[in-house]
Amino acid sequence: MNIIVKSSVSFILFFFLSSLSWAADVSAPEIKASSYLLVDFHSGVELAEKNADKQIEPASITKLMTAYVIYKELAKGSVTADDKVLISKKAWKMEGSRMFVEAGKKVALSRMLNGLVVQSGNDAAVALAEHIAGSEAAFVTKMNEQAAALGMKSTQFQNSTGWPADNHYTTARDIVLLTRALISDYPKYYKLHALKEYTYNGIKQYNRNKLLWRDDTVDGVKTGHTESAGYCLVSSALRNDMRLISVILGAETEKARADYSQELLEFGFRFFETHKLYDKGSVLADARVWKGTKNTVPAGIVDDFYVTVQKGHYKQLKGLMELDKSLDAPIKRGDVVGTAIIKDGDQIVHEVTLLALDAVDAGGFWTKVTDSVKKLFN
C-alpha cells in the first residue's frame, strides 16, 4: 500500500497501540509470579508485564468466562434472574469451593450467580452451565466459542469451574481481554464482583479477593487457586475515571497475590494517566478516493478513544497521519484507509489504523477514466 505522510495537519492527534514506552527511571515493582499483566481498561495500554502470553492453568479464574456467558444469555433474554435452576447430582458432588446447594432442589438463578461470583462455587458453576446449555460439555463449547469471538487466541476451556484438566489453559493477556469485555459489556452484572460476602443455606462465605477490604477503589474481579496453578487474582480499580486491570497468575501464597496486585495497581495509578480524546465516530481526516461517486471518505475511529501516557508526558505528545493515497472505489465502511502515529519527541510510541466511516460507491465509466489519468500524476 502506498503511504504518504499528511504532515501539514494543523492540529495534534494522539493515538495508541497496546504497548507503552516510558522513561528509564520508571520501573514496575518486582513480582514473583509465573506471569502478570497490568493494563489500562479504557485504552488497552499495557503498563507492566511478565510472561503475559505464557499458557497456564487458570483455576477459578475460569469462572470469569462462565459468568460472561451467563451474563450474555441474561442480556439476550434466553434466561432470567428468576429462573429456577435444578441442582443435579453432578453439581452437588463437586469438590473444592462450593455454595453448598442440595441435589434435587431448585434455586433461583440470581442466587446461583452470587454463589458463582462471590463464593466461587464449583457446584454453582456446573448447575448454571447445565441450566444454560443442557450439559456442562455443551456449555464449555459456548465458552470456547466466546473466547474465540473475543480474540482469546491462547485459551482453551475443558470445564466451567477451572478444575484441573488436560488442555485447560489461558494467558494473562487473554484474561485481560475477557475482563475488559465483561466490565464494558455487562456493567450491571459486574457489580456482583464487588460483593464482599454472600450467605446461602445459612452459611456465610467471604469473597476471596482481599483487595475489596484493603482498597475501596477496587471493585472486582476474581480469584483462583489450585495446587498446580498456584494463587491467582484478577483485580480492577477505578480512580478518577481511570480504571486499571491487574492479573497475577501463579503466586506462592494468598497474601502474595493480593500484595502483588496492590503493588501493580499503585504503580499504574502513581506513574500514568489516561485521557479521553475523541468520542466514537469522530472524523479525523478526509482520505482521497479515486474512481468513486465521491472524491473523499471520512477517516476516523469507531470507538471512544483513550490514551494512557506517563505522567508529565501528555502535553509534549505530537501526532501525524499517513493516508493511503491510492484508494480506489468502492470503499466499504470500516475499510482501513491510513495510519495515525503518535510521537514523544523523535520516538514513535503508538500507532493505530484509521477506518473509513462511510461508504463510497464506484463511479461511472467517465469518472474511472479521468481519475485513472489524474492518479498517474498525483
CA distance 140 to 134: 11
Cβ atoms of 338 and 354 closer than 8 Å: yes
Catalytic pick among 35, 88, 97, 120: 120
Name the amino acid, one letter, at 326. Answer: S
- Residue pair 16/310 in contact (Cβ under 8 Å)? The answer is no
Would you call 246 a catalytic residue per the annotation?
no
**Would you call 110 a catalytic residue per the annotation?**
no
Looking up cell 484438566 gives: 165
Q: Is the dihedral of CA 282, 287, 290, 295 positive or negative?
A: positive
Catalytic, 60? Answer yes
SS3 286: strand
Q: Are strands 296-300 and 106-108 parallel, antiparallel or unpaired?
A: unpaired
3 state SS of 95: coil
Q: Where are the alpha helices (DSSP H) in the chain?
A: 63-76, 89-92, 109-117, 122-133, 136-149, 172-185, 187-190, 211-214, 254-271, 365-377
Catalytic choice (34, 60, 88, 160): 60
Strand 272-278 to 305-310 pairing: antiparallel
Nearest Cα to Cα of residue 352 among 331, 330, 367, 337: 337
Q: Which of the following is catalytic: 35, 63, 72, 210?
A: 63
Name the residue among 263, 300, 275 with its Cα closest to residue 45. 275
Positions annotated as catalytic residues are 60, 63, 120
